[in-house]
Structure 1
Amino acid sequence: MGNSSSDFIPLNVAVLTVSDRHSVDSDSSGSYLHEALTEAGHQVLDRAIVPDNRYRIRAVVSSWIASRDVQVVLINGGTGFNDKNCTPEAIGPLFDREVEGFGELFRMISWEDIATSTVQSRALAGIANGTLIFAVPGSTGACQLAWERIIQPQLDARTRPCHFVSHLKKP
């Protein structure tokens, strides 16, 4: 493909905030992810905010999975243990394959900040139709932790010994 192992490959990403109370103006976590992706050299193709409703979440994420262009979806919010939180239930059935290690690693590194409360985090990731999907808690701190310590390196084709870029659909 002409890309050596030392080349950065920009990816097409969509950002979804799951929240009953935020608008684009007050969505600090979605704004953080948008900015972090752009600074890293990726292209943010779409951004949306939906309430904690599994069918609304599923509809938006399904459209991105089905699109030819979106390679990665970053979801923030709706992963807690509150009765209304339903992001894992919404997106889990869409996965062709779950990335079990993501949730495990996120909870492990969250331990440093929130101790035993990390057991209530239902962060998860999976891949569907060549689209990599990450779901993290809605706090900006959690988004930053996930982005800096796990997601950013895994979206970089230069990461060794492995990364997810080679598993994604080609737009």
Structure 2
Amino acid sequence: MFTLSVKTYSYLHYHSVARLVFLTIYVFLLSGCAIDNFGLVKVQHFENETVHMISKESWGAYLSTNNADAGLMFGHMKRILLYPKNLSPSELRLDNLLTTVQQDQFIETENDNLDAFITRSPIAWITNNQGLIFNTNQFRLGITLGLESHDAIRLPRDFEGVFVFKYSLNGKVQAYFYRQLPPD
């Protein structure tokens, strides 16, 4: 007569914390990870006449070292960052500003040098996160569990000009940046 011996590992049954840690590590390894623009992250570069727009979307673990949104998050992340172009103000005209903003649509471009934007501070950004978020940037410090939505505009202290920014619920972004140089 044969007997089948089944040994149960009761320490996992009584330690729900150990099971939770194991499950978290397992999901983290399966979901993938990303650091800035590398890894399992979808990065798109758009531009119009006066502004660069970087759109990032990631599932899993995402580590950002950007000044505006530095931190670590587990879950789903979507961010839109706007950077001004370095244009001479003489190239822009203010007389038709409103019609220019309506007509000046973002066009997706191929840009392999997106690392240059990491060191620069954006003038506006939109962040939508779901999951566990550790914020460690100059604007937010702390831990969030759940949903986080954060929109910000931060212009330089010496800014003299016009910045038009519009973001609709369907994800359409319009932006126009004109910076007037101080008089000589």
Q: Give the TM interval when normalised to the shorter protein.
A: under 0.3
Q: Which has the larger radius of gyration?
A: 2
* Structure with a larger share of its residues in strand: 2
TM-score, normalising length: structure 2: 0.25
